Amino acid sequence: MRYVVRKTLYLIPVLIAVSFFTFLLLDLLPGGPEVAILGASASEENRAEVREELNLDRPLPVRYVEWVGNAATGDLGNSFITKQAVTSQIGERLGNTMFLLIYAQFLALAVGIPLGILAAQRPGGWTDRLASGSAFAFLAVPSFVLAYVLSYLFGYQLEWFPTLFKADARLWSLFLPAVSLAAAEAAVYLRILRSDMVSTLQEDYIAMAKAKGLSRSRILMRHAFRPSTFTLVTIAGLNMARLIGGAFVIERIFSINGIGRLAIDSVLKRDYLVVQGVVLVVAVGYVLFNLAIDILYAYLDPRIRHARALA
Amino acid sequence: MNADDAVPEPHDVPEPHDVDDAVGDRTDGDADVDDSSVPLLAVDDLKTAFRTERGTVRAVDGVTFNLERGHTLGVVGESGSGKTVLSRSIMGLLPTHNIVRSGSVRFEGVEMTGLKASELRQFWGPQMAMVFQDPMTSLNPVLRIGKQITESLRTHLDVSRSYADETAVNLLRSVGIPEPERRMKEYPHQLSGGMRQRVTIAVALACGPKLLFADEPTTALDVTVQAQILDLLDEQQRERYMAMILVTHDLGVVAGRADEIAVMYAGRVVERAPTRTLFSELRMPYTEALVRSIPRLANRSHTRLPRDRRTTTRPRLASSRMSVRAAVRLRTGPLPRGGATASDRRCAGSRVPLLVSGRYARRGRRAGAQPSRGRYGRRGGLNGRERDSAPPQRRRATPARRESRCRVSRRAVGTHRARRVRCEPRRARGRDARARG
C-alpha cells in the first residue's frame, strides 16, 4: 500500500512537467492562434485585439497556471473555431479510443501469451519456429497496411466485419481495427515472453518444482509463468504509446470517431486549444497507465514490493 | 553397503558387479517390493551422455552401486566430474532430448529407467527428493514459502489445505526455523541463505522420501552455516531412516557423515570404499590428490596448499581451462589402459580417463618416449607418479610459466592417434624473460 502511495506521489512532478511542456509546445509554434482565426492577411491591430481577447498578451507562467487550474476542474477552454468546449469534444471521443486501445491490448495479450508459453516449452521445436517466424512476419507489417488488407479481405470481400465504425456495435465493428493494431504487439509479447520463459525454465527452482513431482502444467503456470512476465508487463505499458500512435492512423482508416481523428483534424485546422487538450489527455492517460503497470509489477514480484517499502 | 565392499582389497572400481547382477535377477517382476533383501537403490552401469554439436559427452560413464535404507553414500569429485549429472540421472530429472541414458536404476526393485514422466512424478516427492546446491536460486522468488512446501503435500498426499499447512509448520520447525508460522507467509528473499537451505530441505522432506539427494547442499553457503546444514541433514536422515546420496566436491564434508564414499572423475567412479577404508588406505592417486587439497586447520593462516602441479592444476586443466572442443574430445577419446609406472599399474583396471598434463606431455616428447606411453600411460597416473619416479628436474616455476596454458593442438586433434595436449606458454613469457634477464 505504501508502495502505491509513493508511486502516486512521484506522479505529481511528472504530471506538472508533462502539462507544462504540452503548454509550451504550442506556445512556441510560429503563427499563434490569432493567425489561425483571422488568416494571414489580418492587420496587426486586429491580431492584437484577438490576442487580448484570448488572454494571450499576459505572461506565459500566468497563463500556464490559469490553464492548469482550469484543466484541473475539467475546463480546457473552448475551441477557437467550433466554439465548442474542448473537454466535451474530447469526452465524446475518448471512450471510443480507449475501447479500441484496450481491445487491441487484450487481443495482443490473448494471442501472445499462450503462443509464447507454447513456444518456450521446447526452444527450437516446430511450434517455436512457427510461432517465432510468424511473429517476425507480423512485426514487419505496419499496422495501417494490415488494416487495409484486413478491411479488404474480411470487410469488403467476405463481409464478415464492417469496414466502418458503428457506435452502436463497437465490439463488432472495432474488431478489425483492433486486430490491425494488435498483430505487431502480439508478436512482441510472444517473443518477449518466450525468451523470458525459456530462461526461467532453466532456473533451479523449476528443477526443484519438477523434483517435487508437480505436473507439467502446474510447473508452467504456477512456477514459471509469473516470474517470466516482468518484462512483458513493462513492455505492455510502454507499448501503450505505440498503440496510441497507431490508433491515430487506424482511426482514420476505419473512420472511428476517436481522439486520434480529433487531434489530426485540429492540427490541420490549427485549433490550438483542442490539440493542447488532446495531448494533455493522452499524456496523462499514458502516465496513469504506467502507474497501473508499476503497481501490477509490484504485485507480481514480491521483491519489488519489499525493496521499495524499505527504501 | 555392498557385500563386497567389506573387503577393501581391490578397491571398488566401476566394473559391473556380479552382486548387482544377482540382485537384478531376484527383482524380476516383483511388484510387492517390501523385500528387505532388495536394496533401496540399485544403480547398474548407468551411463548418461549429452549429444552436443562437437560429439557426445559422456557425463556419467558406467556407474554401479547399491544403496541400503538409512545409509549415506558420499559422491566426491571435482567440478565437471559428473556428480550432479549422476544424481539427476538416477532420479530421472534430466531432460529427455539430446541425452542418451543407458543402464539400470532400480528403486526398491522397480526399474525406473523406462518409466514415463507421469510415472516418474509419483516417485518424486514421496520416494525420492533432492536438495539443490544453491538455496538462493532453488526457491521460487514469487511464491510464499508455505506454498512451496505445501504444494507437494497437496499433490502427492491428497490432504486438506489446513492439514498441509500444519504439516508445513511442523516441518519448518523441525528444520530449525524459528517462528515457522510467520515464515510460512514470507517470500524467499526475506530469508538468509542458511534459512533458505533449511527451507529447501523442508520442501524435500515434505512427503517423507526414502531417498534424499543432497547435491552440494553447502557449497553456496557461508562456512559457519555449512556444518549446521550438514548436521541438520544428518539428524533428519537418522530420524527418518532415510538413505542419502551426498554429493560434494569436499572430502571433508563427507568424511564424518557418509558410510561409503565414491570418488568420481570424468564420469566414472574411480574409487569406492567405506569411508574409513578410503581414508586409511588411499589407493587411487586422484583421491589422494583430493585429500591433500583439504586445507588443514593446524596450518598457520595463509599457508598455501601443497603446490603439486599434477594434483592441483591438472584436474582443472582437464575440466575447466580447456576449450569445450578439447574437453569433448578427451571425454570421447579412447580410454587409457595400462601404464608404465607402479601407480599406473595400480589404476590400470580402473580405466582412469584421460587427464591432461602439459608438462608430462612435453617432457615425454622431448625425452623421446613412445607417444602412446607418453600420453596415456603417464597421464593415467596422476600424482602417484611423482613418488614412484625420480624427481623430475624441476624448473623453477616462473610466474609466466605458472600461467602457461594448456591447449590441444589443432593438428593433433585432427589425427586419429593423438589427443595430444601441448602446453603453450603465454606469449608474454618471452618478453618477461627478456625483461628479467
Asked if B264 and B403 sit in the same domain, the reply is no
Interface of A with B (CB under 8 A): 122, 203-205, 207-216, 218, 222-223, 226-227, 300-303, 306
A226/B187 Cβ within 8 A: no
Residue B97's closest chain A neighbor by CA?
Answer: A122
Contacts of B97 in chain A (CB under 8 A): 122
Least confident of B139-148, B200-209, B240-249, B312-321: B312-321
Asked if B24 and B99 sit in the same domain, the reply is yes
Contacts of A226 in chain B (CB under 8 A): 142
**Residue B320 sits in which domain range?**
309-436
Determine the pLDDT at residue A193.
Answer: 92
Determine the pLDDT at residue B243.
Answer: 93
Asked if B283 and B389 sit in the same domain, the reply is no
Tell me if B12 is assigned to some domain. yes
Tell me if B303 is assigned to some domain. no
Asked if B215 and B347 sit in the same domain, the reply is no
The share of chain B scoring above pLDDT 70, in percent, equals 59
**Nearest chain B Cα distance for residue A295, angstroms:** 15
Asked if B279 and B187 sit in the same domain, the reply is yes
Contacts of B130 in chain A (CB under 8 A): 208, 211
At residue B307 the predicted structure's pLDDT band, cuts being 50, 70 and 90, is low
Whole-angstrom distance, CA of residue A14 vs CA of residue A6: 13
Tell me if B179 is assigned to some domain. yes
Asked if B281 and B328 sit in the same domain, the reply is no
Residue A210's closest chain B neighbor by CA?
Answer: B93
Tell me if B266 is assigned to some domain. yes
**Nearest chain B Cα distance for residue A234, angstroms:** 17
Residue pLDDT, tens place only, B275-287: 888 877 777 677 7
Which of residues A46 and B310 earns the better pLDDT score?
A46
Q: What is the pTM of this model?
A: 0.69
A210/B133 Cβ within 8 A: no
Asked if B271 and B373 sit in the same domain, the reply is no
Contacts of A214 in chain B (CB under 8 A): 121, 151-152, 155
In this complex, the residue of A207, A226, A227 whose CB is nearest that of residue B132 is A207
Tell me if B195 is assigned to some domain. yes
Half-sphere exposure of B171 (CA within 13 A, CB side): 27
Residue found by looking up cell 536394496 in the block = B39
Whole-angstrom distance, CA of residue B373 vs CA of residue B227: 44
Which of B140, B197, B210 is the best mutation test for A, with the most CBs of A within 10 A?
A: B140
Show which of B292, B324, B354 is a domain's final residue: B292
Least confident of A74-88, B3-17, B159-173: B3-17
Determine the pLDDT at residue B72.
Answer: 92
Using DSSP's 3-state secondary structure scheme, residue B244 falls into strand
B93/A306 Cβ within 8 A: no
Pairing label, strands B260-265, B72-77: parallel
B91/A203 Cβ within 8 A: no
* Mean pLDDT, all residues of chain B: 68
- Number of domains chain B is built from: 2
Listed in sequence order, the residues at least 6 apart from B16 whose beta carbon sits closer than 8 Å to its beta carbon are B44, B45, B62, B64
Least confident of A16-25, B24-33, B198-207: B24-33
Least confident of A175-179, B52-56, B146-150: B52-56
Show which of B259, B292, B325 is a domain's final residue: B292
Whole-angstrom distance, CA of residue B179 vs CA of residue B187: 14
The share of chain A scoring above pLDDT 90, in percent, equals 8
Tell me if B301 is assigned to some domain. no
Tell me if B298 is assigned to some domain. no
Asked if B285 and B316 sit in the same domain, the reply is no
A211/B204 Cβ within 8 A: yes
In this complex, the residue of B132, B143, B155 whose CB is nearest that of residue A213 is B155
Using DSSP's 3-state secondary structure scheme, residue B315 falls into helix
At residue B242 the predicted structure's pLDDT band, cuts being 50, 70 and 90, is very high
Contacts of A222 in chain B (CB under 8 A): 143, 151
Which of A126, A202, A212, A299 is the best mutation test for B, with the most CBs of B within 10 A?
A: A212
Residue B133's closest chain A neighbor by CA?
Answer: A204
**Nearest chain A Cα distance for residue B291, angstroms:** 30
In this complex, the residue of B124, B133, B143 whose CB is nearest that of residue A211 is B124
B138/A210 Cβ within 8 A: no
- A–B interface: beta-carbon pairs under 8 A: 81
At residue A83 the predicted structure's pLDDT band, cuts being 50, 70 and 90, is confident
Whole-angstrom distance, CA of residue A4 vs CA of residue A7: 5
In this complex, the residue of A203, A218, A222 whose CB is nearest that of residue B137 is A203
Using DSSP's 3-state secondary structure scheme, residue B208 falls into coil
The Cβ of residue A208 has, within 10 Å, a number of other Cβ atoms equal to 27
Asked if B142 and B278 sit in the same domain, the reply is yes
Burial (0-12, 13-18, 19+ Cβ within 10 Å), B333:
middle
* Mean pLDDT, all residues of chain A: 83
Asked if B286 and B338 sit in the same domain, the reply is no
Contacts of A209 in chain B (CB under 8 A): 140
The amino acid present at A10, given as its one-letter code, is Y
Residue A310's closest chain B neighbor by CA?
Answer: B190
In this complex, the residue of A207, A212, A216 whose CB is nearest that of residue B203 is A212
Show which of B230, B262, B292 is a domain's final residue: B292
| Residue among A250, A227, A241, A138 nearest A190 (CA) | A138
B138/A208 Cβ within 8 A: yes
**Contact between B322 and B330 (Cβ < 8 Å):** yes
Report ipTM (2 d.p.). Answer: 0.75
Asked if B136 and B18 sit in the same domain, the reply is yes
**Nearest chain A Cα distance for residue B165, angstroms:** 17
Residue pLDDT, tens place only, A105-127: 999 999 999 999 988 888 888 88
Which of residues B37 and B49 earns the better pLDDT score?
B49
Determine the pLDDT at residue B358.
Answer: 35
**Contact between A102 and A258 (Cβ < 8 Å):** no
**Contact between A202 and A254 (Cβ < 8 Å):** no
A204/B138 Cβ within 8 A: yes
Asked if B72 and B207 sit in the same domain, the reply is yes
The Cβ of residue B102 has, within 10 Å, a number of other Cβ atoms equal to 12
Tell me if B265 is assigned to some domain. yes
pLDDT above 70 (res B60): yes
What CATH number is associated with residue B52? Answer: 3.40.50.300
Domain ranges of chain A: 2-85, 87-310
Contacts of A302 in chain B (CB under 8 A): 141-142, 187, 189
**Contact between B60 and B86 (Cβ < 8 Å):** yes
Please name the fold of domain A87-310: MetI-like fold (1.10.3720)
Least confident of A237-251, B74-88, B118-132, B333-347: B333-347
B138/A214 Cβ within 8 A: no
pLDDT above 80 (res A25): no
Determine the pLDDT at residue B3.
Answer: 42
Determine the pLDDT at residue A32.
Answer: 67
In degrees, rounded to 5, the angle at the alpha carbon of residue A248 between the alpha carbons of residues A242 and A249 is: 100
Least confident of A271-275, B90-94, B269-273: A271-275
Determine the pLDDT at residue B222.
Answer: 81
Interface of B with A (CB under 8 A): 91, 93, 97, 117, 121-126, 129-130, 132-134, 137-143, 151-152, 155-156, 187, 189-190, 200, 203-204, 206-207
Which of residues A225 and B22 earns the better pLDDT score?
A225
Residue pLDDT, tens place only, B328-356: 444 443 333 333 233 333 343 443 343 33
B190/A204 Cβ within 8 A: no
CA distances from A49 to A60, A166, B281 (A): 18, 43, 108
